[in-house]
A and B are shown apart, each in its own frame.
Chain A
Amino acid sequence: MRRKLSLRLPTRLDQLERIYEAVDELGESEEWPPGMVYQVKLVLEELGVNIVTHGHANDPEHEFEVVLDSDSETLTIELRDEGPAFNPLTDSPEPDIESGVEDRPVGGLGIYLVRTMMDELSYRRENDKNVLTIVKRKENG
């Protein structure tokens, strides 16, 4: 089966809840493997918080879009936002995951979790928008 959900949301933190509800619904109806609903919610939280806080924070004039397209093998996510150009593949430093408690920098893990948990990420800047396409294969859920 194939199911697609599209959301167009104001760039506000309280809107992320609507994304989580959509993920729960799609994960259940498309029978994602255990763990995948969690991973997809986490990825959309990390990216969603970035879009809202670094983009047009709490400006109701701006919106961002999330498309979730799930088929029998793959989930494809597309995120579009109107914020400043940000390519999570190149504009986010590799976090320090080796240092001890004292020396380890606080933060910087969000994008790293996204890159590690998902199978493919591609970014393009199109019509002054960030367009991020993410692929998660169910067999790796």
Chain B
Amino acid sequence: MEISVDRANEVLIAKVEGRIDGANAREFEDALNGAIAEDDSKVLLDFGALSYISSAGLRVILLIARLLQKRNAAFALCSLSDPIREVFEISGFDKIISIHDTQAEAVDKIGQ
């Protein structure tokens, strides 16, 4: 799993590549916490290059969503593959986190 970070329209874009499972979910959590600065008010996770996520990864997503909500920061996901989207839908995460088809659409929605 690798995370690369970019900023556009004041949106922090973290592109996640590879897989997030029980073996590396902690590493994913640490990497995200390291990437998100305290004054980031808009955070987007781009899952376009993510091949797999299990409940261990969902746990981290929920913790990050909670942290950002406390800071009144916007949080969104984009570019989920069909199986990953299914995992988010079954878990009801699509009701609490906004999910966009493309990075451009997401930046447009949550950016300025």
* Chain A contact residues, CB within 8 Å of chain B: 13-14, 16, 34-35, 38-39, 41-42, 45-46, 49, 95, 97-98, 100-102, 104, 106-107, 109-110, 112-113, 116-117
Contacts and interface: CB of A to CB of B under 8 A. Distances in A.
A100 B93 CA distance: 9
Nearest to A95: B91
Nearest to A13: B23
Give chain A's interface secondary structure class. helix
A131 to B, nearest CB: 23
A33 B45 CA distance: 28
A85 B82 CA distance: 35
B52 A38 contact: yes
B96 A104 contact: yes
A16 B83 CA distance: 20
A112 B89 CA distance: 12
Contacts of B54: 42, 45-46, 110, 113
Contact of B63 (A39, A42, A106, A116): A106
Given A100-B96, A101-B69, A113-B55, A38 B91 contact: no
Nearest to A39: B83
Contacts of B22: 13, 16, 45, 49
Nearest to B21: A45
Given A35-B83, A49-B56, A107-B59, A98 B90 contact: no
A86 to B, nearest CB: 16
B24 to A, nearest CB: 11
Given A41-B52, A46-B54, A101 B83 contact: no
A97 B92 contact: yes
